[in-house]
Structure 1
Amino acid sequence: MSSVLVRSLLRSNSIKNEFKLQLGGVLSICSNNTDPTTTMQDVKAALLKHMGLERGYRPLQPNRSHLLDMLPKNQDELPPRTMQDSFLSAVIPLSSDIVLQEKYVTFLGHVRLGRLMEDMDMFAVWVAHQHIVNPNQVPGEPTPYVLVTVLVDQIDFTDLVPKHDADIRLSGHVSWVGRSSIEVTVWLEQKVFGKWQKLTRAVFLMAARNSTNTAAAVVNRLEPGSEREKEIFLGGEGRKKRRIQSQSTSLLKQVPDDAEQQVIHDIFVSTVDSNDPNFHKRILPSHSVWMDDCTLSNIIFSHPENRNLHNKVFGGFLMRQALELSWTAGYMYSKFRPKLCHISDIGFHKPVDVGSLLRMHAYVTYSEFNYAQILVHAEVIDHRGMHSTTNNFHYTYQMPEEVPKVIPQSYHEAMMYLDGRRHFQRVMGLVK
């Protein structure tokens, strides 16, 4: 059995154990706010009311500058909160809502994971709002806070394939807080034969902004209670340090290390004729494919129905579009229906205006045994034809058989290859 496959099995068991630890530790103390009858539709309606918004698209948003006076100047003005205070659950009632099933079902009768990413993003925002208690809040007035998704940390999936006709439950709580940032951990479970089975877990990092979305806003401190809560909080601290380290060692800032340079050199040597001293011609090795031949692109025009509460394109919509494009790219590359195993960090670099042209490019950047690492690069094209990066998405897919090896040709592709290799090794537990 391949060493990568062995590690994959160990990684899968690790994910299941982490679900049990986190859910067990939190559910034992956070049961007061759960309501099994709350649906995601209720959550969306509650968010609209909380923000003082109404249904229906309006090109110009209502003026919220009068709410600025309610915002505190520092954290000491806000009461500390616990993880229990923000714990919530909501259900996607697929077992009883036929219309909803049509929206979520795939052609194989499974659930569209992209739709679930949309729901998780919306749910995470609502959970984060539960954490904020502002003594300056005027009764009857909308909240002066605007919460935006900054990034989504690594998302791991269990082996359970979600069905389109069984209820799915979202649960979550605030797991770490900075001065103006809130980390929310969200789980998905599906009811199978009367029991809730784990699907996935994701960590969302939210930025708190003022009512006009022009500056950061301070939020309540998080005070861990039990030993388990302290462990969860320290996990958030660890993720923050890992992100800082990852940024400092980015291939945009540092040259590849010695081992990575050797990897690229070995690939180059395998693609040239050893009898040609001028490296005149490159030859594709057997059971391999040039990286340039396994790419896929699309262009999306963003409509008002894709907006969030702030008239920007909803981050969950971007995640869904990118995920479905990556799956299609993986299918065309491998000729198999790929199984999504992991999603690495998703960063939201720039908001996307409604009416923008959004271009997405999917690249198979790295492959090993029966796994493929796929990057989706999203960019906005403005009216002047200028391109601006909005997101980079990294996906790890598993195929039923060994896949062709991806071979870079240019230095640019070589850096994409190494970046994909880094993401693959981290999600597979090969490196920390």
Structure 2
Amino acid sequence: MMPSRKSSQNVRSKKNNLPFGGYKRSLELATAGMVEILDIERLVRLIVYMIVKKVRLTHVGILLYNDAKKSYVLTSSKGKKGSVIPKEYIRMENDDVIIKFFAERTNYLINRSGAIRKEDLLKYLKKGTVNNSLRDCIGQLRAEMEDYDVDALVPGYFQTKNLLGILFLGKKSNGSRFQQEELDFFMALARTAVMAIRNAQLYKNIQKIFYGIIKAMSLSIEKFDPDFTRPHMDRMFDMAASMVVKLERRGVVFPDIPKELFISSIFLHDIGKQYTPKEILYKEGPLTQGEWAILKKHPVDGAEIFEQIDGLEEVAAIIRYHQEKFDGSGYPEGLKGYKIPLGARIATIVDSFDAMTHSRPYRKAPFSIEDAVAELIKNKNKQFDPDLVDVFVEVLAEKGMLKDGGGSSKVGHIFNKLLSPRTVA
């Protein structure tokens, strides 16, 4: 029995492109959780990937407004080799024909959905009522669509008025055209994407503000803590950031907070010292038992500042537990081993090293770098996470801070072992 024409078309659709009903549901399900993604680049890549995979197009790109560049930039692009448009290859100012066309809502004259196909432009030009200015505009728009080899353009508006971006849709793999119901769907998808992207942008702006607050708070620590100076803060940030990068490359999973925030939290570890009397902080001799009891409150005092803020639990944990020791002999809770948060384990190594290699009120003569490293190694499994100490020594070596790569120092006999490939738990 010969298949009907309709059934053969369905077979071809399944082979090359999902029928609209198929990919519509798939994309609806895939985009349902977009608003929860707060990383803009990851979000945009996901949108492009889903459309290419589900609709099966030659290529897809997203043009987004870049506030820093005051222009629209191709932020993400994906597709078949030879068809994909390189990222950032397209950059359009507000007076570009495509941007003006959608920003001024001329697109709604062409297609009721707001999305535009090349065939819509040709169809509209056949009307005898098109003025010369609009005819020229449409001609330029068609030329640009040809240049970028796109069959459809889908705008995304924020609060229905501001053009946030444009979705570039290449040809379908099976050569079929976009139907009107597909354009309607992509406009709805664009509205969802715009909300998610705008949400991520707002989150990023809040992050910038928060990092500014962290910077201001860290500078304020200088006023009450003689150990905490701008150079100390810079050194801690540099060392902590280097450790985080190295650990990431080894597959270590970090808490679900932005990496910059995680690192910034490390050098805020002593913020609770603002509640410690200056005579204790500045004392050059040994502390009395009572003074020690007061000083040991600073991790909890600092953590309580951030525990009041939703989403900063990991920041608070780093501050609260940075005085814990790997063998469980630290404070405030006597946590042991991997029960101590990763950030706190990094902070204690970085801070201890910097304290040893620079003058403090209670110790005028700093250690040499090699002596400080030897001290870290001696206290592996006692005060410090042994694997993280190894990573820290590697960081020092890569920065050229160890003599002869460690060969002429007290740590030279184990240096090669530390540099051998290993996985940090």
Q: Say which structure is richer in helix.
A: 2
Tell me if both proteins adopt one fold, taking TM over 0.5 as the criterion.
Answer: no
Higher alpha-carbon Rg? 2
TM-score (norm 2): 0.20
Higher relative contact order (CA 8 A, sep 6+): 1
Compare the two structures and name the one with the higher strand fraction: 1
